[in-house]
Amino acid sequence: MKIIFRATDRFLGDVRRDLARPHAFAAERVGFISVRATAAGADTLILLAADYHPLADDEYVHDISVGAMMGQEAIRKALEVALMRSVGMVHVHMHEHHGRPHFSRIDVREQTKFVPDFFKVRREMPHGAVVLSHDQANGRIWLDRDTIVNISEFDVVGRRLTIDVVRPGGLDRLA
């Protein structure tokens, strides 16, 4: 299955600016992107970024073992968005560098704890996680509670279309 994540350059710029803001105790910020999904053939799923949902300052839990820990209220709000708006939810955070980012072991461990919960409220929608850098992205999508697929391509639409095709050996940028 090929997964394409599509957003405007303005949308991603706004998300990056929000994630770059300092927090009183968390080392990084996190949020959620709601997505609409559409099939583009039998083996391709396009995820269209709809809205960004940043965590409020008081929705972080003070935990020095991780860069940022979400509290129960943050997850409850994201579950409510998925339920009420019939959307998929993608957890997002940023690594402060240029080039292709990668999830840390902690990122992967924590994703497997909360992403499958979204299927309790929207089992027909894909959910997942994306990590941004200053200029690229990487991500994983759950098609159901047990099926995880890497995002194959990030399409950024703006004055100039940029397509980042993610391959195991590296990244191909088509601009």
What digits encode the pLDDT tens for the residues 114-164?
999 999 999 999 999 999 999 999 999 999 999 999 999 999 998 777 777
- Strand 170-174 with 137-142, pairing: unpaired
- DSSP β-bridge partners for residue 91: 32, 129
| Cα distance between residue 152 and residue 168, in whole Å | 10
Measure Cα distances from 4 to 87, 96, 104, 128, 133 in Å.
16, 23, 22, 13, 18
Q: Which of 104, 105, 109, 116 is nearest to 75 (CA)?
A: 116
- pLDDT at position 172 is 55
What digits encode the pLDDT tens for the residues 68-124?
999 999 999 999 999 999 999 999 999 999 999 999 999 999 999 999 999 999 999
CATH of the domain at 8: 3.40.140
Domain residue limits at 70:
2-174
Number of domains in the chain: 1
Quote the tokens at residue 102: 């990668």
| Cα distance between residue 79 and residue 122, in whole Å | 9
Measure Cα distances from 145 to 74, 116, 119, 141, 149 in Å.
20, 5, 7, 10, 12
Greatest alpha-carbon pair distance for the chain in Å reads: 46
| Cα distance between residue 42 and residue 80, in whole Å | 30
